């Protein structure tokens, strides 16, 4: 048997209904905040990711699915969406004119990481990007929108961590101080020995526990913030706090992508084990320029949808859609039921029947197995009398309903039960 690729999973019913529900809630939430959907290709030129995420990051150096296509171009499956959203905005002229441009994108991303609980090679992100403003109000709004979405989904026990990486001047100062610290210590892993020379910030998100232990006492970014960045950071924190949201400052939160400037944030949830970040994001004020566009600030976040679904409470999900099963006896009844079933569906009700000519008993047990809420029983006798039997499966109650009124009778009963 040919099996799925390691780290890539099939998402199956009934779980798919929960995915649809999560995405529907995300769409509703984002539209309220003025975001519009953008859909982009899964493949991009490798250079796009190398230039934006950074050639020394784990994502670009080790985790991309990269190949050369038939015309010799190096392409990669997208490992994240921010770079391509900015690319698409620049290419399609979406950033002209006043006002903040807001987009959301839902879809699969690909990273060749070691698979474990909450970490996959194909995973799914719900991504938001806002471009065109450096106002701290926008940072606060984006963070609050993320928490708003998580709350609407029933995920309340979350931890919000925030940091500021400052502007390139602050980062330059911080990197020098960090480099001095890193140079004084020995015992770094091979990657970090290289990183401390070329990109010291990346040492801070090394996954080795040994390196993490060595980092105790390392300088913190906040001490390197210039006045303007410090004020920006304070204003973001002030607005978040004023909205009644609690947060923790995490000076180590540099996130694994090079494009971040100023605010960075992450939301973690209990129950995920080592991979506990359900969402992460931040500002990327230099990204549009790096990709050949204007000097346009922006920020955003991505929710890891797979992880989110793993921590949502069991009751989170769409309301059940009650099913009606049409059980028939005889050819004439089957022919009538076929069109009755279409009437039910035309009212938006879920209805199925058996086409295999099974016995009534077999049809009833099939209805049971499918979890039908109602069964309509229709045979020659019912056709003659013009009334079918409508049975409520939970209680076994039965009533005779005129054939012409069946669809409305089922609709009324379902509405009644749902309303209760
Ligand atoms: P990221 O932190 O790399 O940020 O990913 C965001 C979220 O995607 C993570 O918090 C996690 O929930 C999920 N995720 C990442 N890798 C995996 C994986 N291998 N398996 C399962 N879930 C995973 C970004 O991607 C940025 N583009 C976010 C952003 C948007 N920043 C600004 N705008």
Ligand 1 nearest-atom number relative to CA 301: 30
- In angstroms, what is the span from residue 280 Cα to ligand 1's centroid? 6
Q: Model confidence at 198, in pLDDT bands (50, 70, 90)?
A: confident
pLDDT higher than threshold 70 for residue 121: yes
In testing the pocket of ligand 1, which one of 127, 255, 304, 305 has its CB within 8 Å of the most ligand atoms?
304
Selection from 343, 275, 330, 283 nearest residue 306 by Cα? 275
Residues 206, 187: Cα–Cα separation, whole Å: 13
> What integer is the mean pLDDT of 105-123?
97
Residues 300, 38: Cα–Cα separation, whole Å: 14
Identify the residue whose C-alpha is closest to ligand 1 atom 13.
304
Task: Output the pTM of the full model.
Answer: 0.94
Residues 63, 184: Cα–Cα separation, whole Å: 30
| 95 close to 294: Cβ distance less than 8 angstroms | yes
**Paired strand residues for 390:** 376, 399
Please give the pLDDT value at position 22.
98
> What integer is the mean pLDDT of 126-152?
98
Q: Which of 114-118, 143-147, 274-278 has the lowest mean pLDDT?
A: 274-278
> What integer is the mean pLDDT of 174-186?
92
Identify the residue whose C-alpha is closest to ligand 1 atom 12.
304
Burial of 221 (0-12, 13-18, 19+ CB in 10 A): buried
3-state secondary structure 327-381: EECCHHHHHHHHHHHHHHHHCCCEEEECCCCCCHHHHHHHHHHCCCCEEEEECHH
Please give the pLDDT value at position 207.
80
pLDDT higher than threshold 70 for residue 15: yes
Residues 292, 338: Cα–Cα separation, whole Å: 60
Ligand 1 nearest-atom number relative to CA 127: 30
pLDDT higher than threshold 80 for residue 417: no
Tally: H helices and E strands in the chain: 15, 16
pLDDT higher than threshold 70 for residue 11: yes
pLDDT digits (tens, 9 = 90+) for 264-293: 999 999 988 888 899 999 999 999 999 999
> What integer is the mean pLDDT of 245-268?
95
Backbone angles phi, psi at 263, to 5 degrees: -65, 130
**Paired strand residues for 342:** none
Residues 57, 251: Cα–Cα separation, whole Å: 19
Please give the pLDDT value at position 416.
83
Ligand 1 nearest-atom number relative to CA 255: 2
Percentage of the chain lying above the pLDDT 70 cut = 99
Please give the pLDDT value at position 419.
54
Residues 293, 344: Cα–Cα separation, whole Å: 54
Backbone angles phi, psi at 387, to 5 degrees: -135, 135
- In angstroms, what is the span from residue 167 Cα to ligand 1's centroid? 22
Residues 337, 328: Cα–Cα separation, whole Å: 7
Classify residue 97 by its DSSP letter. S
Please give the pLDDT value at position 418.
59
CB atoms within 10 A of CB 209: 8
Show the ligand 1 pocket: residues with CB < 6 angstroms: 80-82, 111, 113, 118-120, 123, 125, 127, 129, 255-256, 277-282, 300-302, 304, 306-307
Percentage of the chain lying above the pLDDT 90 cut = 88
pLDDT higher than threshold 70 for residue 134: yes
- Mean pLDDT computed over every residue of the chain: 95
Residues 85, 297: Cα–Cα separation, whole Å: 13
Higher pLDDT: 174 or 419? It is 174
pLDDT digits (tens, 9 = 90+) for 303-347: 999 999 999 998 999 998 999 999 999 999 999 999 999 999 999
pLDDT higher than threshold 60 for residue 212: yes
361: left (phi over 0), alpha (psi -120 to 50) or beta: alpha
């Amino acid at each position: 048997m040919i099996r799925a690729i390691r780290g890539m999973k099939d998402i199956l019913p009934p779980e798919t209904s929960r995915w649809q529900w999560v995405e529907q809630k995300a769409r509703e939430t984002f539209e309220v905040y003025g975001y519009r959907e953008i859909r982009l290709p899964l493949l991009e030129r490798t250079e796009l990711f190398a230039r934006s995420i950074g050639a020394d990051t784990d994502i670009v150096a080790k985790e991309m699915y990269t190949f050369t296509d038939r015309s010799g171009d190096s392409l990669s499956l997208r490992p994240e969406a921010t770079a391509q959203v900015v690319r698409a905005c620049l290419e399609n002229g979406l950033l002209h004119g006043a006002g903040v441009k807001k987009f959301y994108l839902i879809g699969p991303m690909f990273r060749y990481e070691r698979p474990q609980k909450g970490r996959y090679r194909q995973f799914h992100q719900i991504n938001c990007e806002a471009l065109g403003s450096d106002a701290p109000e926008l940072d606060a709004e984006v963070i609050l929108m993320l928490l708003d979405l998580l709350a609407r989904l029933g995920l309340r026990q979350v931890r919000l961590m925030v940091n500021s990486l400052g502007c390139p001047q602050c980062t330059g100062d911080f990197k020098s101080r960090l480099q001095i610290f890193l140079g004084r210590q020995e015992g770094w892993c091979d990657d970090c020995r290289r990183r401390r020379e070329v990109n010291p910030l990346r040492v801070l998100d090394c996954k080795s526990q040994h390196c993490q232990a060595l980092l105790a006492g390392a300088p913190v970014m906040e001490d390197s913030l210039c006045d303007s960045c410090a004020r920006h950071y304070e204003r973001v924190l002030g607005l978040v706090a004023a909205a009644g949201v609690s947060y923790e400052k995490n000076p180590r939160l540099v996130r694994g992508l090079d494009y971040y400037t100023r605010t960075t944030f992450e939301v973690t949830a209990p129950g995920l084990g080592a991979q506990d970040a359900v969402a992460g994001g931040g500002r990327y004020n230099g990204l549009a320029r790096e990709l050949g566009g204007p000097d346009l600030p922006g920020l955003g976040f991505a929710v890891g949808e797979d992880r989110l679904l793993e921590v949502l409470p069991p009751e989170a999900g769409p309301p059940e859609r009650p099913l009606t099963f049409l059980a028939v006896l005889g050819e004439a009844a089957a022919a009538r039921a076929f069109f009755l079933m279409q009437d039910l569906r035309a009212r938006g009700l879920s209805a199925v029947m058996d086409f295999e000519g099974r016995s009534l008993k077999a049809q009833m047990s099939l209805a049971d197995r499918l979890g039908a809420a109602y069964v309509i029983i229709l045979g020659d006798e019912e056709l003659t009398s013009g009334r079918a039997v409508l049975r409520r499966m939970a209680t076994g109650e039965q009533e005779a309903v005129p054939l012409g009124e069946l669809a409305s009778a089922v609709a009324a009963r379902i509405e009644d039960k749902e309303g209760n």
